[in-house]
Amino acid sequence: MSTLDIQQADIEAALRRLDAQRPSLLRRTPLMKLSGKDFGLDCAEVWLKLEQLQLGGSFKARGMLNRMLANQIPTSGVIIASGGNAGIAAAAAAQALGVPCEVYVPLLASQAKQNRLRQLGASVVVTGAAYSEALEACLLRQRSSGALLLHAYDQVEVVAGAATLAAEIESAAGLPDSVLVSVGGGGLIGGVAAWFENRARVVALEPALAPTLFQARQAGQAVDVSVSGIAADSLGAKRIGEIAWNVSRRCVKDALLLSDESIRSAQLWLWSELKLAVEPAAALGLAALQSGAYRPQAGERVCLILCGANLDPASLAGH
């Protein structure tokens, strides 16, 4: 059994580090509160944590920056493997801190994300059919370069950084009754669940074509799964992270699967009805509500985390 886990002290340290960097390197993103009726639901409220407005376009900025601030950065800079968002966050933080950044992305990483990485000054290496293969190449390179390794979702500082998002939700509005969280490798749900520690119902959401946590729960341990589909560039880890697995066994009540069709429909609804441009991975919470995969109670306050917006705007054209 792995002992890699996260403690409240890790989250509190991340809060101190990141608060010292606002507003230049990190934003306190808005929390939008809407009536459940706006979504055709009987629940009391739906809260939208607008983390797609974060620097770098996703929640990943929190973990990448926390990891970098917590460690000495060598002259060779930082290095990371990423489906896109963690790499973008790392590149943005590295640019702000004036250090080199090398990013390994798989072939399935969208061109929009690759272009953004290069705009931020990162050295981009495209290799491997999936994230896991890009990670293998990244680890090999790190051993020779000595750069500080950033992991997209399975380092304590990275998950603790993500947890600061949950702390912001509670600070702004108190405890929600439930929080619906998209899962890839698990950095976000690990942080969110660790912060709320069973004080709110945390629900894991995954595409049916990338069931990393769902399959682990069925097997009773982390296992490799095949990943594909509409959100694979963001939620394409083939195995749940150790930290997320340990936290989720304590603090995550449900793990639900969603079809690509429901995810795409929710993504387009957010744009057409609320003018919120988010990538597919950020639409899973709404997809769970619209599809009926998650049915809130009448008085429930449900929080959805819109975790990223690194998408090609043309994908929303005509909608």
Q: What is the pLDDT of residue 25?
A: 87
Q: In the structure, what pLDDT confidence band is assigned to residue 318 with cuts at 50, 70 and 90?
A: low
CATH number of 60-150: 3.40.50.1100
For the residues of 37-59, what is the DSSP string, one character each? Answer: GGGT--SSEEEEE-GGGSGGGBT
For the residues of 240-266, what is the DSSP string, one character each? Answer: --HHHHHHHHHHEEEEEEE-HHHHHHH
| Higher pLDDT, residue 23 or 121 | 121
Q: What is the pLDDT of residue 317?
A: 79
| Structure-block tokens of residue 218 | 């069925």
| Higher pLDDT, residue 262 or 84 | 262
Q: What is the pLDDT of residues 231-261, one digit of tens each?
A: 988 888 899 999 999 999 999 989 999 999 9
293: phi then psi, degrees, rounded to nearest 5: -60, -35
Distance CA 307, CA 188 (A): 9
Q: Which amino acid is at 305?
A: I
Residue 9 pLDDT more than 50?
yes
Residue 2 pLDDT more than 80?
no
Helix residue spans in the chain (DSSP H): 8-19, 60-69, 85-97, 111-119, 131-145, 156-173, 187-196, 212-219, 242-251, 260-274, 284-291
Closest-CA residue to 76 (of 96, 101, 97, 98): 101
Q: Which amino acid is at 29?
A: T
Q: What is the pLDDT of residues 71-82, one digit of tens each?
A: 999 999 999 999
Residue 223 pLDDT more than 90?
yes
Count the alpha carbons within 13 Å of 34 in the hemisphere toward its beta carbon.
18
Residue 14 pLDDT more than 70?
yes
| Structure-block tokens of residue 83 | 């489906």
Q: What is the pLDDT of residue 221?
A: 96
Q: In the structure, what pLDDT confidence band is assigned to residue 1 with cuts at 50, 70 and 90?
A: very low
What percent of the chain clears pLDDT 70, i.e. is strictly above it? 98
Q: Where are the domains of the chain?
A: 8-58+156-316, 60-150
With contact defined as beta carbons under 8 Å apart, do 245 and 258 qualify? Answer: no
Beta-sheet pairing, 45-49 with 31-35:
antiparallel
Segment 14-33 mean pLDDT = 93
CATH number of 8-58+156-316: 3.40.50.1100
Torsion of CA 308, 151, 165, 118, to 10 degrees: -40
Residue 151 pLDDT more than 80?
yes
Q: What is the pLDDT of residue 131?
A: 87
Distance CA 238, CA 122 (A): 25
Segment 177-205 mean pLDDT = 97
Q: What is the pLDDT of residue 319?
A: 58
Q: Is the dihedral of CA 78, 84, 89, 95 positive or negative?
A: positive
Segment 27-46 mean pLDDT = 95
Considering the chain, what is the average pLDDT of its residues?
Answer: 95
Neighbours of 252 (CB within 10 A): 24
CA 178 to chain centroid, in Å, comes to 17
